[in-house]
Amino acid sequence: EAGVTQFPSHSVIEKGQTVTLRCDPISGHDNLYWYRRVMGKEIKFLLHFVKESKQDESGMPNNRFLAERTGGTYSTLKVQPAELEDSGVYFCASSQFRKGTTEAFFGQGTRLTVV
């Protein structure tokens, strides 16, 4: 079974440019999450999809961030325009509703550097 995959693994962009991150969850997982880790800090929640619906986007920093999950499969996270403070590692995770288990499975992350 394929795990959560993220693309690209690294991205270096200039301030003001646009970047789109992609996440392919584990097949059949209804829950999809985006998280971000700024160097040395906690892994911070950004948002949560159930299928194609946004359940909780309370962690999205501002309206420069746009997440979509068309058709309830893969998801994209677009940052437009990127600012220096957007640098960090962006993790995607997925999970399935199943009684007795709530762990989420993470992708390898996309390291975003805004210069």
Partner 1 sequence: DQQVKQNSPSLSVQEGRISILNCDYTNSMFDYFLWYKKYPAEGPTFLISISSIKDKNEDGRFTVFLNKSAKHLSLHIVPSQPGDSAVYFCAALRSGTYKYIFGTGTRLKVLA
Please say whether the beta carbons of 47 and 67 come within 8 A: yes
Q: Rounded distance, CA 24 to CA 52, Å?
A: 13
Residue at token pair 């880790």? 37
Binding partner 1 by CB under 8 A: which of 54, 56, 66, 85? Answer: 56
Q: What type of residue sits at position 62? A: N
29 binds partner 1 (CB under 8 A): no
Residue 21: CB minimum distance to partner 1, A: 13
Binding partner 1 by CB under 8 A: which of 7, 78, 106, 113? Answer: 106
107 binds partner 1 (CB under 8 A): yes
Q: Rounded distance, CA 115 to CA 50, Å?
A: 34
Site string for partner 1, 76-95 (x = CB under 8 A): ---------------x-x-x
Residue 42's CB is within 10 A of a number of other CB atoms, namely: 9
Residue 42: CB minimum distance to partner 1, A: 5
What does DSSP assign to residue 67? E
Binding partner 1 by CB under 8 A: which of 7, 22, 44, 52? Answer: 44
Q: Rounded distance, CA 39 to CA 89, Å?
A: 8
- Contact footprint for partner 1 (CB under 8 A): 4, 6, 31, 33, 35, 40-45, 48, 55-56, 58, 91, 93, 95, 102-109
